[in-house]
């Protein structure tokens, strides 16, 4: 199986940095890198793990289908297992990993209120430090 181009923390950071209003945070300690949009998590990874994995938000039915189809995709580690998946980046096709990352970002962005999205668009303060 072709491995993901997201094969390093630097590659994950670059991919996330390309998404508008994406921010890096370390709310759970120095090992867990969390990416947020509008103060809400859309991706996280353990930067000290031997095997790089990425946890992403998904629609519940899509998460179930992905977990069935790919052994390298499991319920989200330490997250709501219904809404989050964790994928081993060395065992997931590149296109799928990138699609899931982008979809997670879009899902979280769509969940923001209209006012929060408008504030992001205008560069307003306050959203970057949210939960």
- For residue 75, the domain's CATH number is 3.90.1150.30
Rg (CA), the chain: 14
For residues 71-105, one letter each, b for 16 or more C-beta atoms within 10 angstroms of the residue's C-beta and e for the rest, the string is ebbbbbeebeeeebbbbbbebbeeebbeebbbbbb
Number of domains forming the structure of the chain: 1
- Within a domain: 130: no
Lowest mean pLDDT among 8-12, 60-64, 110-114, 117-121: 117-121
Confidence of residue 124 (pLDDT cuts 50, 70, 90): low
- Within a domain: 84: yes
- Within a domain: 20: yes
Structural domain harbouring 16:
9-119
- Residues 39-82 have pLDDT tens digits of 999 999 999 988 899 999 999 999 999 999 999 999 998 899 99
Confidence of residue 130 (pLDDT cuts 50, 70, 90): very low
Q: How far is residue 13's CA from residue 90's CA, in Å, rounded to a whole number?
A: 16
Q: How far is residue 119's CA from residue 25's CA, in Å, rounded to a whole number?
A: 20
- Residue 34: C-alpha distances to residues 3, 95, 111 (Å): 22, 21, 18
- Within a domain: 70: yes
């Amino acid at each position: 199986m072709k491995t993901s181009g997201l094969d390093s923390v630097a590659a994950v950071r670059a991919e996330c940095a390309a998404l508008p209003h994406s921010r890096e945070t370390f709310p759970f300690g120095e090992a867990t890198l969390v990416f947020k949009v509008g103060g809400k998590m859309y991706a996280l990874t353990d930067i000290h793990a031997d095997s790089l994995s990425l946890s992403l938000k998904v629609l519940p039915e899509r998460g179930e289908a992905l977990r069935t189809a790919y052994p390298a995709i499991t319920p989200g580690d330490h997250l709501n297992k219904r809404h989050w998946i964790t994928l081993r980046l060395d065992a997931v096709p590149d296109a799928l990993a990138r699609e899931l990352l982008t979809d997670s970002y879009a899902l979280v962005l769509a969940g923001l209120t209209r006012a929060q999205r408008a504030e992001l668009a205008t560069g307003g303060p306050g959203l970057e430090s949210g939960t």
